[in-house]
Amino acid sequence: MTAATALGEPGWQRLDPRMLAVTPLRQVAGFLPVIAVVLLTGIGQDIAGRVYSVLGGVLVVLLAGLLRWVTTRYRITGERVELRTGLVFRSTRSVARDRIRSVDVTAGLVHRLFQLSVVKVGTGERTDGRESRELTLDAISAAEADRVRQRLLDPRDTEPPDRCTVPAGTELAALRWSWLRFAPLTVSSLVALVAVAGVVGQLISDVGANAVDVGGVREKLTSAPLWVGIAAFAALVLVIAPAGSLLIFIEAWWGFTLVREPGGTLRIRRGLFTTRSVSLEERRLRGVEVIEPPLLRVGRGARTVAVATGLGGRRGHGRGTLLPPAPHPEAHRVAGVVLEEDPSPTATTLRRHPLVALRRRLVRATVPVLAGSATLWLTPVPAWVAWAALGLLPAAVLLALDAYRNLGHALTSKYLVTRHGAGVRGTVALQRAGVIGWTVSQSFFQRRAGLVTVTATTAAGHGGYSVIDVATAEGLALAEQAVPGLREPFVRHDVSGAGHTLGSMA
């Protein structure tokens, strides 16, 4: 696209005309599973009527796509990105370039066949828990998308996108096939697998395939002993779950690279069928987090996530993922190269918290189990239920010990490092310059134990990162040392119903 495609006003451009073929093909692809199930199971006699309905739907979609192409225009100026859509009801969206926080480029399988991409321009602003003011250009040529991405992430660039060039960058990390061993250890892969299985099951149910008993398998299973059904289900899970998680991992992380581009941009590219490209400006980076879920910890694996502004809080974690599940040392290495610190702050030796913090965790873990078990003994339920509840006590103790072992903090020349978590362990290295306030809180029981929780407030990531159950004097000294002068003017003592707040400042 060039200025030659301007429509009435300078700089206005249309989407790529190849999108007229993409929209109906995507809709047809959505109908393929239904058609395949019908043909394979023989369900449904009026096949011709169904096909005609599909063709009629495709025609309607094609006309709608043509109307969208005719009525959609966009332009990029030195100050703003603007998008106009609609025929009867006109809509104009405009985003100032200095408010742009992310430019994501994705391309599904159909888009890739036509060398097209979808560009999403986000501001990171949130309204009622949902990200707002996101412009989507669906679809423009892949080359044009890369030029638009490069231009929007460089506020100094005011040239038309067709004059922009994409310079080479420095590769910081790339996928290694040995990391496939972590695929079955990721909860997200298993959840995604269950979701896909649910969709397929619903689809089969919708076309009536649930009435089909292939080879009398259902009758044989229902007449067999209970242990046979349980064993068959367990074997099915042990086979399908790892295989499915491997396939999901490959599709999501195929071709993964993390590149530092000239001008201070981190670019993450990945995906087999649907390619994804996420760009993160380093000037918006406030730190990194190394996350170790329980299953990954068993396999000595971890993930690395950016702590940056404009990613949309917790919902932006996927967008800010800097590394797929990988070996623990690799996660810390990537954290270090991203922060340009050697060794990585996330791998620094942390200060242990007082033993009284262990006592708090043991009490909070065991008291509910003991109380629940005692209550069951006093109620008319079978005795084995109460014994089963009491059997949770060892697991509760182990969880408390793990939670205490995960506690720790450190202060480097540039970063506040904190680690905590029961089961899921997270180690955060937060820029001291990115701390905009402190919240120092102390509950009734913390006060009796001489402990305090110090939370560093920041405009990035989750908005705050806590040093939990640290000694009171050490916690206050940590806040003062991390950002000298920020805490002192605001220290106050007041008692509320929820606890005792020693200081809160922003």
Q: Are 267 and 251 in contact (CB under 8 A)?
A: no
CA distances from 496 to 298, 455, 470, 499, 503 (A): 41, 18, 21, 5, 13
Q: Are 173 and 323 in contact (CB under 8 A)?
A: yes
pLDDT at 500 over 70: no
Instruction: Give residue 504's pLDDT band: very low, low, confident or very high (50, 70, 90).
Output: very low
| Helix (H) or strand (E) run with residue 324 in it | strand 321-327
Which DSSP category does 391 fall into? Answer: T
Read off the tokens for 245: 């998680």
Distance, CA of 396 to CA of 400 (rounded, Å): 6
Read off the tokens for 226: 């209970």
pLDDT at 250 over 60: yes
Choose between 340 and 28: higher pLDDT. 340
pLDDT at 492 over 60: no
What's CA 439's distance to the chain center, in Å?
26
Q: Smallest Cα–Cα separation from 406: which of 455, 346, 353?
A: 353
Q: Are 94 and 80 in contact (CB under 8 A)?
A: yes
What residue segments make up the domains of the chain, in order of their start? 3-166, 171-207+218-267+280-344, 354-405, 407-506
Read off the tokens for 411: 């202060």
- Average pLDDT of 421-435? 93
Query: Would you say domain 3-166 falls under CATH 2.30.29?
Result: yes
Which DSSP category does 351 fall into? Answer: B
Distance, CA of 339 to CA of 431 (rounded, Å): 10
Instruction: Give residue 189's pLDDT band: very low, low, confident or very high (50, 70, 90).
Output: low
pLDDT at 161 over 50: no
- Average pLDDT of 455-460? 92
CA distances from 251 to 108, 246, 454 (A): 12, 9, 41
Instruction: Give residue 5's pLDDT band: very low, low, confident or very high (50, 70, 90).
Output: very low
Q: What is the structure's pLDDT at 429?
A: 96
pTM over 0.85: no
Q: How many CB atoms lie within 10 A of CB 233?
A: 11
Read off the tokens for 255: 């071709």
Choose between 112 and 89: higher pLDDT. 112
Transcribe 117-176 into DSSP letters.
Answer: EEEEEE---EETTEE---EEEEEEEHHHHHHHHHHHT-TT--S-GGG------EEEEE--
Q: What is the structure's pLDDT at 487?
A: 60
pLDDT at 384 over 80: yes
Q: What is the mean pLDDT of the chain?
A: 79
**Per-residue b or e along 356-395, where b marks 16 or more CB atoms closer than 10 Å to that residue's CB:** ebbebbbeebbeebeeebeebeeeeeeeeebeebbebeee
Instruction: Give residue 51's pLDDT band: very low, low, confident or very high (50, 70, 90).
Output: low
Question: For residue range 411-421, what is the model confidence (pLDDT) as tens digits?
Answer: 999 999 999 99
Give residue for tokens 């939670």: 403
- Average pLDDT of 37-60? 58
Give residue for tokens 């340009």: 340
Q: CB within 8 A of 79, min separation 6: which ones? A: 96, 97
Choose between 322 and 1: higher pLDDT. 322
Amino acid at 336: G
Q: How many CB atoms lie within 10 A of CB 174?
A: 11
Question: For residue range 270-319, what is the model confidence (pLDDT) as tens digits?
Answer: 999 989 999 888 888 999 999 999 989 999 999 999 999 877 555 445 67
Choose between 211 and 320: higher pLDDT. 320
